[in-house]
Structure 1
Amino acid sequence: MKFRRGIAALAMIGATFSSTYTHASERLLNDVLNSPEWFSITGESRIRFEHLDEQYRAGLEGSDQGLYLRTNLLAEAKFDNFSLVGELLDSRQLFDIADEGSPLSTSTVNPLDVLQAYVEVPTDNFLPGKGSVKVGRFTMNIGSRRFVSRNGTRNTINSYAGIDWQWKDSSNNTWRAFYTSPVQRRVDGDPLDNEAKTDQIQEEVDFWGLYFSPNSGRLNSEWYVFGLDEDDDVNQPTANRELYTVGGRIWKKPAPNQWDYQVESAYQWGDSNASRSSDVELDNSAYFIHTEIGYSFDHPKSPQLIFQYDYVSGDKDADDNDTESFDTLFGSRRFDFGPTATFGPFVRNNLSTPGVRFKWKPSDNTRAHILLRGFWLASDEDGLRAAGISNAEGESENYIGTQLAVRWRWNAIPNRLKFDVSAAYLDAGDLLENAGQNDATFVYTAATFVF
């Protein structure tokens, strides 16, 4: 019943989007408001229906579904020597299609609050090249987005409060430095109720980073270091992580009839508590590597075949005071491991996973891909954390399962209306089966209206 309600609601809202576009006579919000040249305002609203058939998470069973709406409104005022930027974000579930058994949290629901509010000052007047400094609350995308990203798939978005300096010098080398405190997303009571509670800055958490990407005609590369230092406060228990992550990425861009590649690796060290509720301090030493090689065919549909492999370390011994468990910080994972949201069985922790991806463009305004990956535990003594499955004594086999995922995107009305359809099937391996979990099937369909 809830599945049919979700499809019906999505169809109804999709029809509303189409009607809105028609009556707007192709005029965006700026034009409707007749905004002056120094001021701009834009918005975007995405509705997505998700359905998960069978659960991979420990302790849960049956199906799950949800209808989620994410709407943001961005305003910018540009003056001669600075700019003011503000953005509101509203993320909620609709029509109670999700239920009390749904894995809802502030990763899914975050009713109306301030996502960004900052002043940006250009540095061109006192530094060669081109750059700027942001001060206030803002979102960030850095490098490959595996460690710091403005979330695309998830229904809520990470933001930070502090200072962010970006600079491209006279040789076109890119530099970046930031020092921030993450913003804690909050809801009042049960996320199902969509009751707002003001987000707050995590003053006891410091997140900083340095980034450099040299301008080279032969090799694309980037290098970075991130630091995270957190302590508990009255409103937010933490694992007291003090982590340092250093890494880099090199890559060659795709081109017709040519091979391309990408390699990214990072090492992480520091200390943290075993969990948010534990006082046991562990020494961290962990690492991550992503490799891929692809070939692009010279064809109007731009087909590309990519072979991928990711290795992310896991804890080798749950009974010692050391951990090799990797922390992906504030990164995104959809582009590596397939759909997240209600699904998302894989995070960058304790994985060994080869895969193959095929991408193509069915038409000028559509994109599609197919992804096939096998998943194993990197450490038999650790578990699958996203599923809440422990394997502390290595009692189970380390084969998690095989996942097939497909995605199709259609830019129906350029810069105005987009559709996104995706599906994934997880064939449960020994680890999941021994934990009493089954094969899982996930589908979603989304419509995004830009105004």
Structure 2
Amino acid sequence: MAAIRDAWRQGVVAIMLGGAGMLGASGVANAQSLPASPASSTEKPGQEETAPTKDDDGLLVTAAIRARYETVGGRPSPDVAAAEQAFLVRTGIALEYGPGPLTIGGELVDSRGYGIGTRTQIDNGDINALELPQAYLKLRLDPGATPLGLASVEGGRFLINLGSGRLVATDEYRNTVTGFTGVRFDFKPTRSTGVSLFYVMPQEHLPSGDAEVRRNVVRFDRETLNNVLFGAHITQKQALGAGQVELAYYRLAEHDSPGRATADRRLQTIDARFSRSAQDCGFDYDLEGAYQFGRASESMRADATNAPVKAGFVHAAAGFTFGGAIKPRLGLFYDYASGNGRQAGAGGTLHRFDTLFGSRRDDFGPSGTYAALARRNISAPGVRFEAKPADRFEVLTDYRGIWLASRYDGFYDLTDPTGRSGRFAGQQVEGRLRYWVIPNRLRLESNFAVLFKGAFLRNVPEAVARKASTVRFLETNLLVTF
């Protein structure tokens, strides 16, 4: 079976590369391009209105390459170097053809890293050379064909963006994409109601060995029935006025398999969200909460104890967009995600929230060599400013204070099981500058972050780089789309 699967993937890769060459020569590609990964929707998951459109023959072609250089210093974790530099390149091409109800599509993504040291924070979540995260068939049914209204069935390998993207999404900022293999069914019984049902196997990035990852070794990702995600997501627009209501259920079931150790997670997550998107001269809001329960092990060690899980997270944000040429938006936000207590790992209940396959950048700042904040063991209020001084120029910056939800759990890969290092982790200032040199074709972007270390990061026994009072991160990237 493995040989057949690899042959299928190699055949699809060859077809895509050959088709891309012919299309480029003939100039057929008329669709709007998206950031690489080209078919990954946008950094705001689930917004169909920003998706590219097919040409008159039902053809969609998108391609992009992004080169990113980043540098970080002052990291406190003893498992990685305090300072690091990395050069990351992501190249992608996506093809989709479907003049009628049946569509066939695929996407090839090559995510590589250069100048990566041995004590790096970069892993196969950032490097995944020459992979096929998408190869799918999709059948669209008109409203009159089923009692469920407009419907579609998708099977094969594909990407998933649901709701806010905090639990299941494709992270546009990250250097790699997370694909899923399985089946998905979507239908819209009314213009304002949408339902998604799915049963998928998350694709495991390979290789997993550090040395192979640093050398950009090509090994096709795999999926297994020992790691399954299924669930449902429901959206109701124009609910309670201009707001949108979303309800979701996710079930993750994983087991150890040959060559793959897991935390044996059997997690169920119930999620609810009420939101209104930003608009000119008006208020917006985003309130989301999730409760997670089931069983899991605290680590992937063979002798780790499998324990009950009770965890949750809350995201609350509100803002106002002012009028004028630059359309400034000022907002307040708060993120909470539970953490383990004193007895975790010793037979007690685990309370650390698991964000499943959620996106990080929009809420918490850059990932990559920085990746300081995550949706676990955190209590962090803040304020955000966004503006668009010109059609091609965008600015985003925010400030937040960071406390641990539990003083006994970890932050930035550091833990004080005694709790004596306190709960205050520090303060973060981060942001992004973005300029379209050529609209929809060439984009220059820079992301930055400064983490002012609080009492926890200064006092936790295992912390390194103690003389550095901050963790400093700067990144610049150039994106070319075709």
Contact 1:153 1:341 in 2 (8 A): no
Distance 1:55 1:136, change over 3 A: same
| 1:294 aligned residue | 319
Aligned ranges for residues 231-250 of structure 1 at < 5 Å? Answer: 231-250=255-274
Pairwise CA distance, 1:185: 0.8
Structure 1 residues 377 and 29, CA gap change in structure 2 (3 angstroms) = farther
TM-score by structure 2 length?
0.84
**2:299 is matched with which residue?**
275
Deviation of 1:62 (Å) = 3.4
Q: Secondary structure at the match of 2:363?
A: helix
Q: Does 1:33 pair with 2:26? A: yes
Q: What residue is the counterpart of 2:36 in the other structure?
A: none
Once the two structures are superposed, residues 5-50 of structure 1 have per-residue CA deviations (whole angstroms, 9 ceiling, x without a partner) of xxxxxxxxxxxxxxxxxxxxxxx99564344924333211111001
* Contact 1:65-1:102 at 8 Å conserved across structures: no
Pairing 1:154-169 to 2, within 5 Å after superposition: 154-169=174-189
How many angstroms apart in 1 are the aligned matches of 2:82 and 2:166? 31
Task: Find out whether 1:340 has 2:367 as its counterpart.
Answer: yes
Aligned pair in 2 of structure 1 residues 61, 341: CA closer, same or farther (>3 Å)? closer
- TM-superposition CA deviations, 1:225-248 (whole Å, max 9, x none): 111000010021110100000011
Assess if the C-alpha contact under 8 Å between 2:432 and 2:446 holds in 1.
yes
Residue type at the aligned position of 1:87: E
Q: Is the 8 A contact 1:372 1:404 kept in 2?
A: yes
Q: Which runs of 4+ in 1 moved over 4 A?
A: 28-31
CA distance in 1, matches of 2:163, 2:339: 24
Say whether the 8 Å CA contact 1:29–1:42 is kept in structure 2.
no
Corresponding position of 1:225:
249
2:231 to 209, 224, 228: 209
TM-score (norm 1): 0.89
Map 1:255-274; keep pairs closer than 5 Å: 255-274=279-298
Query: Are the equivalent residues in 2 in contact too, given 1:270–1:283 (CA < 8 A)?
Result: yes
Look up the match of 1:9: none
The 3 A distance-change label for structure 1 pair 195 and 51 is: same
- Alignment deviations for residues 413-444 of structure 1 (CA, whole Å, 9 cap, x no partner): 12211111011111111111113344210000
* Superposed counterparts of 1:16-415, under 5 Å: 30=23, 32-35=25-28, 37-94=57-114, 97-124=115-142, 125-187=145-207, 189-216=211-238, 218=241, 219-277=243-301, 278-317=303-342, 318=344, 319-384=346-411, 387-415=412-440
Contact 1:351 1:376 in 2 (8 A): yes
Instruction: Tell me which residue corresponds to 1:18.
Output: none
Residue 370 of structure 1 deviates from its aligned partner by 1.1
Which residue in the other structure is 1:4 paired with?
none
Provide Cα deviations, 1:70-126, integer angstroms capped at 9, x if missing partner.
0111011214231110111100013xx221122221111111021100000012233
State whether residues 273 and 286 of structure 2, in contact with CA within 8 Å, keep that contact through their aligned partners in structure 1.
Answer: yes
Question: In the alignment, is the contact (CA less than 8 A) between 2:121 and 2:368 conserved in 1?
Answer: no
Identity of aligned residues (%): 30
Q: What code does the residue aligned with 1:113 have?
A: E
Q: State whether residues 256 and 298 of structure 1, in contact with CA within 8 Å, keep that contact through their aligned partners in structure 2.
A: yes
Amino acid corresponding to residue 244 of structure 1 in structure 2: Q
Provide the rounded CA distance (Å) in 1 between the counterparts of 2:305 and 2:196: 35
* Equivalent position amino acid for 1:190 in 2: E
Cα offset for 1:260?
A: 2.2
Q: Output the CA distance in 2 between the equivalents of 1:397 and 1:345.
A: 18
Give the equivalent residue in structure 2 for 1:416: 441
